Amino acid sequence: KRPDLTEVDERAAKDSMGYLKDFVYTAFGLQAKRNFAAISPEGKNELKLLYDAECRFLDSELARLLDEVERKHPNTLIVIMSDHGEEFWEHGSMGHATTLHAEQVEVPLVIHGPGLSPKAVSDRVSTLDVVPTIVGYLGVGPNPLWQGRDLLADGRKLDEEFVYSRTRGPDSQFGIEFEMVHHGKWKLIRDAKSGTTKLFDTTLDREEKKDLVSTHPDIARELAVTLDSRNEANREHPLRTSPDATPLSEEFRQDLK
């Protein structure tokens, strides 16, 4: 049975996106005061239930689609993934793209196709690996400039690899710029603007609540050096710029507008 909700809770539930924007914009100082009053614990739980219901609806509709695809085109590779997770106050906020904690960056990846044996893989991987995995499955050679690699290739030791992530926030006005490297059980999150870092043992602290930078400074330094090297490689990467891109004509710009 659903708990009784206050009028404020009901308003937030009916306009969850409005509540989300109001909450985040106030938290990051983009507006002076809240337009929505704070909701109760029951109201927060209601928003979680609504989110779960959306996921359940999508899951059932996706099942219909996949059943039809497999019936008509059984020789199909199916890849299901997400671009981000969603925070529900695990680190004091809600929404996505505002942090690099687990609830926002760890998403499912499902690969299904003829010849693939069922198995569950708990190791973290990068979305950069998705395209190389698809072309590898299709027997097409990858672009040598791609940073990602085929997840299905023999010899990969996923548990030994580094995984990186970065966010500039859902809007440039937020002034967010976080970067992350995850290796084994250790995860380093760095504020790229201030340079401050946090270190988490994700085996003992799955919710990433206890910062261990002060107790394991050597590990934090090693991961920071790795992150710096990655950033340098990204800055020098041949695909970072497109020098041969054709400039847009003014007429085409107006058409786009």
Determine the average pLDDT of the residues in 59-66. Answer: 96
Q: Nearest to residue 165, comparing CAs of 182, 176, 180, 147?
A: 180
Q: Over the stretch 121-143, which tens digit does the pLDDT of each residue have?
A: 999 999 999 999 999 999 998 99
Give the per-residue pLDDT at 244.
Answer: 62
> Are 87 and 95 a contacting pair, CB within 8 Å?
yes
Beta-carbon contacts of 49 under 8 Å, excluding residues fewer than 6 positions away, are none
**pLDDT score recorded for residue 182:** 98
Backbone angles phi, psi at 244, to 5 degrees: -95, 5
Checking if the pLDDT of 96 tops 70, the result is yes
Do residues 107 and 83 touch, judged by C-beta distance below 8 A? yes
DSSP codes joined into one string, 136-150: HHTTPPPPTT-S---
Task: Show the CA angle centred on residue 7, arms to residues 4 and 12, nearest 5°.
Answer: 100
Element (H or E) spanning 110, and its range?
strand 110-112
pLDDT value of position 206: 96
What number is the average pLDDT over the span 109-121?
A: 94
Q: Which residues of 234-256 are buried (b: 16+ CB within 10 A; e: fewer)?
A: eeeeeeeeeeeeeeeeeeeeeee
pLDDT > 70? residue 245:
no
Question: pLDDT-based confidence at 243, cuts 50/70/90?
Answer: low
Q: How far apart are CA 63 and CA 44, in angstroms?
A: 29
The candidate with the shortest Cα–Cα distance to 125, out of 108, 112, 139, is 108
Give the pLDDT of residue 175. 87
Express each pLDDT in 151-170 by its tens digit: 999 888 999 999 999 999 88
pLDDT at 247: 81
| pLDDT per position as a tens digit, 182-235 | 999 999 999 999 999 999 999 999 999 999 999 999 999 999 999 999 999 999
